[in-house]
Amino acid sequence: MPLDDNDDCLKALPFYKADGESPNTNMPAPAQVKTPARRHQTPNKRPRRPPRPPTTIVQEPDPHELSDAAYKLLQRYDRLRRPGDLINAIALYRRALQLIPNEHPHKPYWLNNLGHCLYHLFSRSGGAKDIESSVSAFRDAMVLTFDGHPQLPLWLSNLAVSLRARSERFGELSDLESALETNRRAVALTPDDDPELPRRLSNLALSLWDRFNRFGEPNDIESALETHRHAVALTPDGDPELPRRLSNLAISFGTRFEHFGEPSDLESALETDRRAVALTPDGDPKLPLRLSNLAEYLRTRFKRYGERNDLERAIDADQRAVKLTPEGRPHRSDWMNKLGVSFEIRFTHDRTQKNFDE
């Protein structure tokens, strides 16, 4: 069952701008210095020479201007999702970073933003170089940040997100372990009253869930559930992240049920996902996924106990997931296949022509 985690990974990578900067895309114009025109020698009737072109002195760009321009492009990308803005922001941040020494106080901030851009580019294209560069940028930001710096937990959290993405892309165990340990450190350094703590707990829980699925160690799924619960408990009602965190908590309950068969875990998965669906607004792109997961839990309970209402509710949820997913979207065929499974179960159970036709 796919995790409902993409939104949180992206939100774990906020735009960060060093103090004192303001977005500004006005790049300094090259300074031009003109040499005086030479007098033409007319007495000897020699051919006139054309005047020399003006001498141009190229002024080195101000790295702060470059950073401000990149930041404004990032903001526009966040609104409009134009790939060109992302690519240009990456180029500007790279140039700005070349122009400042490692001791510059803004360098970790700009490295963080560069890593953020590269992560987004990887999410769009899947390019191996992009995720490698994202991990490298976040690592460099962390290395340049002293212990006790208020932004260190953010740099760690961002690095963990990119490491987890690289682990999913290439399957390297070292990345999985590094993401887990980096998330743990980020959580440990985050104060209890920090509003980012629920997000970092959620990311830690996802890394624990990943490792459980890799090795099946019971302690990992227990820790994932405990950490998901903590993240949900710290998320206030009305927070737009609450449905997603509930959905991932439900998935962890469902995972433990699949491996150990405890009926209470199936009930917890079902009730938690119901709450996630109820809190998800119509039009939210994650709603079809949450409905499909809900249908899966209901089908599983029908197979276990034979309660007809569970199967009917599963079909309703499957139909809503299909209806809410436009033609051509990548997951629509998955939702349709699952709806077909529900109809097949009902036909097998009832043996009626109506169910067969559906």
- pLDDT at position 4 is 74
Q: Which residues pair with 31 in a beta bridge?
A: 57
> In Å, what is the CA distance from 208 to each residue of 219, 225, 287?
9, 9, 25
- pLDDT at position 48 is 65
Q: Taking Cα atoms as reference points, which of 41, 119, 53, 54 lies closest to residue 86?
A: 119
Spatial separation of the C-alpha atoms in residues 142 and 33, rounded to whole Å: 43
Per residue of the chain (358 residues), give pLDDT as tens: 767 764 444 333 333 443 333 333 333 333 333 334 444 444 455 556 666 666 555 677 999 999 999 999 999 999 999 999 999 999 999 999 999 999 999 999 999 999 999 999 999 999 999 999 999 999 999 999 999 999 999 999 999 999 999 999 999 999 999 999 999 999 999 999 999 999 999 999 999 999 999 999 999 999 999 999 999 999 999 999 999 999 999 999 999 999 999 999 999 999 999 999 999 999 999 999 999 999 999 999 999 999 999 999 999 999 999 999 999 888 999 999 999 999 999 999 887 645 545 5
Are 183 and 70 contained in the same domain?
Answer: yes
Spatial neighbors of 88 by CB under 8 A, at least 6 apart, are 70, 73
Tell whether 13 is covered by a domain: yes
- pLDDT at position 49 is 64
Are 184 and 294 contained in the same domain?
Answer: no
Tell whether 133 is covered by a domain: yes
Which of 127, 154, 189 delimits the end of a domain? 189
Q: Taking Cα atoms as reference points, which of 232, 233, 254 lies closest to residue 245?
A: 232
Q: Which domain holds residue 340?
A: 289-358
- pLDDT at position 148 is 95
Which of 146, 165, 189 delimits the end of a domain? 189
Are 297 and 182 contained in the same domain?
Answer: no
Spatial separation of the C-alpha atoms in residues 137 and 4, rounded to whole Å: 26
CATH number of the domain residue 129 falls in: 1.25.40.10
Spatial separation of the C-alpha atoms in residues 184 and 180, rounded to whole Å: 6
Angle between helical axes of 83-98 and 63-80 (0-180°, round to 10): 160
Spatial neighbors of 311 by CB under 8 A, at least 6 apart, are 298, 299, 302, 342, 345, 346, 349
* Alpha carbon 147 to chain centroid, angstroms: 26
Under DSSP, is residue 103 helix (H, G, I), strand (E, B) or coil?
coil
